[in-house]
Structure formats: structure tokens, C-alpha cells
């Protein structure tokens, strides 16, 4: 019987494991892909308190090493279901079944697609959701970034170091991203902002992306921008459907939970970007991880 099973090895999940182990509880983390979550693809982190500058990979690796050094176990298995059996919870993965006293859902969120007809077919053929993963394939080429948040601005800044030109396509004329980062990007000569426009079509040639159609949201006028690559950064979507039986979801698919990280099921908690919240940052993910782990420990003590 495991004390706490944590689903997801991102910032929230790894932080939860650290707090669980420091409280003397056994903790097993299940991860379907790779530890670190979305932050592992961020080239630079400059807004985490106490750390002036660090790469996402370094940050995630440090968290992973800290959690495992304390005795947390990481299993590379996809969790497909969680059942509430009262004092015991049953967690089923693609490789087996495990019993525990408490569960922390820290599944994060995945990149949100544009939803265009041929988008999926062009993934890896000009369409990408990770600039740091695929940016080098477009060295000295023209690319576009779709989005207006911090990820889009970070992606455009990263790409501007390697690409001949970078278009930033945003449906508004104001950005959700940090103003400082937007101003910094505006100072780069090879970056052009395409505002109040939506990407409405993907143009392909011989199975590869060669341009994007953009539509003005006011006039409806359509234009084509010739690009070799399109990096989609329009937000994220949670993947919590397998856990809807133990954690109520809102209309967007996020787990309904307040700052106490408690779901509607005793012994099931949530942490990080997968839950309903206004701010999704590294600091809030780490905070959630700590809160959820301590709440899980308190729950176990009450059994």
C-alpha cells in the first residue's frame, strides 16, 4: 500500500513528492512522457523567486533529482483510471494496478491546436508546438508564431536568433504576455507583428507547410504569409477526462478545486495547471504541489 500516488511529474507533481517524502510518506509518481512538464521546453526562466536565470531543463532536472534523492519513486507509466474505494484508492496504468491511501492529480495541460483541417497532417512538416524542440530545423528560414501569451513571445524571441524572419500573429492588438518581454521582442529587427488577425488556413506544397492564411477580425480580409514553419502557442488544454469520476471538471476540462487543492472526493487532491485557477505559473504550480501534499498527509493521518 503506497501512501500517496502522484499523477504527473511536472513542477506541481515533483514538488508534491518532495513535501510528501519530507513528511515521511511513501510517494510514487507516474508520468506518461518525460519528467518536467511543459517547462522543460523553456530556454530561460527569469521569474522564479530566488533563481535569477535558469533553463527549463535545468530547473526540471533539479526538481527531479531532489525528489528522487529523498526517496520518491518515478514510474514511466500512463495512468488510465483512478477508483475511489474509500480508505484505499486504486490507480490503474497501462502496465498494472496500484493501491494507495491518497492521490494527487498533477496532470498539467497540453498544447492547444488551432483546429484547422490539415493541421494534424502537417505536424512535423512545418507545424510545431515546441519552438525549442524544432526551431533549429528552420535556421535561416521564415516562420510564424501564433499566439499572444508568454509562451508565444518566448518562442518568437528564441526563433529570432536562428530564423531569417519571424511573424508574430495575434488575434488582438494587446498581449497577455509580460510587457517587458513584448517590448524586448519589438526591438528585434527580424520580428514583425501581425495583429488583430487569426490564422484561418494552412497552405501546403508537396505535403509541407509553405504559408499561412490570416483573416482580419474586423474586415474579414484574407491574406497569405509565406512561411516554412508555424509554431502554435495559443494556450493549453487539460487532459483530465479519465479522472472525471473522482474529480469534477469545469466546462474547459479543468479539475474544480480551490486553493486548498481538494477535489470533491476524500483523499483525492489536485495541483498545478490541471486545476481551475487564474494564474498558471511555475510559482503557483510549486505552491499547489506543497499544498496538495500536506493536505494528503493530513488526510492520511485522519484515517
Residues with active-site annotation: 130, 133-134
Q: Which residues are 214's β-sheet partners? A: 199, 223
User: What is the torsional sign of CA 64, 67, 70, 73?
Assistant: negative
- Answer for the pair 250, 278: CB distance below 8 angstroms, yes or no: no
Could you give the angle at the alpha carbon of 158 between the alpha carbons of 118 and 174, nearest 5°? 75
Q: How far apart are CA 284 and CA 282, in angstroms?
A: 6
Q: How far apart are CA 263 and CA 248, in angstroms?
A: 7
Euclidean distance between the first and the last CA atom of the chain, given in angstroms as a whole number: 14
What SS3 class is residue 124?
A: coil
Q: For residue 176, with 0-12 CB atoms within 10 Å meaning exposed, 13-18 middle and 19 or more buried, which class applies? A: middle
Residue from 12, 1, 8 nearest 29 by CA: 8
- Which three cell numbers mark 189? 529587427
The DSSP H or E segment spanning 125 is none
Cell 502496465, located at residue: 95
Amino acid at each position: 500500500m503506497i501512501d500517496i500516488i502522484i499523477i504527473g511529474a511536472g513542477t506541481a507533481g515533483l514538488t508534491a513528492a518532495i513535501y510528501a517524502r519530507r513528511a515521511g510518506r511513501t510517494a510514487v509518481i507516474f508520468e506518461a512522457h518525460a519528467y518536467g512538464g511543459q517547462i522543460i521546453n523553456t530556454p530561460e526562466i527569469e521569474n522564479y523567486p530566488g533563481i535569477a536565470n535558469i533553463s527549463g531543463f535545468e530547473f526540471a532536472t533539479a526538481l527531479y533529482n531532489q525528489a528522487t534523492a529523498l526517496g520518491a519513486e518515478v514510474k514511466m507509466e500512463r495512468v488510465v483510471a483512478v477508483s475511489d474505494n474509500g480508505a484505499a484508492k486504486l490507480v490503474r496504468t497501462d502496465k498494472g494496478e496500484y493501491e494507495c491511501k491518497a492521490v494527487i492529480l498533477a496532470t498539467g495541460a497540453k498544447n492547444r491546436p488551432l483546429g484547422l483541417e490539415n493541421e494534424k497532417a502537417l505536424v512535423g512538416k512545418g507545424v510545431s508546438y515546441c519552438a525549442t524542440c524544432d526551431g533549429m530545423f528552420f535556421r535561416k528560414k521564415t516562420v510564424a508564431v501564433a499566439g499572444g501569451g508568454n509562451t508565444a513571445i518566448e518562442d518568437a524571441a528564441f526563433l529570432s536568433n536562428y530564423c531569417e524572419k519571424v511573424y508574430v500573429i495575434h488575434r488582438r492588438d494587446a498581449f497577455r504576455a509580460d510587457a517587458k518581454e513584448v517590448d524586448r521582442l519589438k526591438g528585434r529587427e527580424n520580428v514583425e507583428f501581425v495583429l488583430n488577425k487569426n490564422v484561418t488556413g494552412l497552405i501546403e506544397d508537396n505535403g509541407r507547410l509553405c504559408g499561412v492564411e490570416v483573416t482580419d477580425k474586423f474586415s474579414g480580409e484574407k491574406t497569405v504569409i509565406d512561411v516554412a514553419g508555424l509554431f502554435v502557442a495559443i494556450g493549453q488544454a487539460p487532459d483530465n477526462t479519465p479522472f472525471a469520476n473522482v474529480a469534477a471538471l469545469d466546462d474547459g476540462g479543468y479539475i474544480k478545486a480551490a486553493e486548498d487543492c481538494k477535489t470533491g472526493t476524500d483523499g483525492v487532491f489536485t495541483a498545478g495547471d490541471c486545476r481551475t485557477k487564474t494564474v498558471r505559473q511555475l510559482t503557483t504550480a510549486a505552491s499547489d504541489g506543497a499544498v496538495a501534499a500536506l493536505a494528503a498527509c493530513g488526510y492520511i493521518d485522519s484515517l
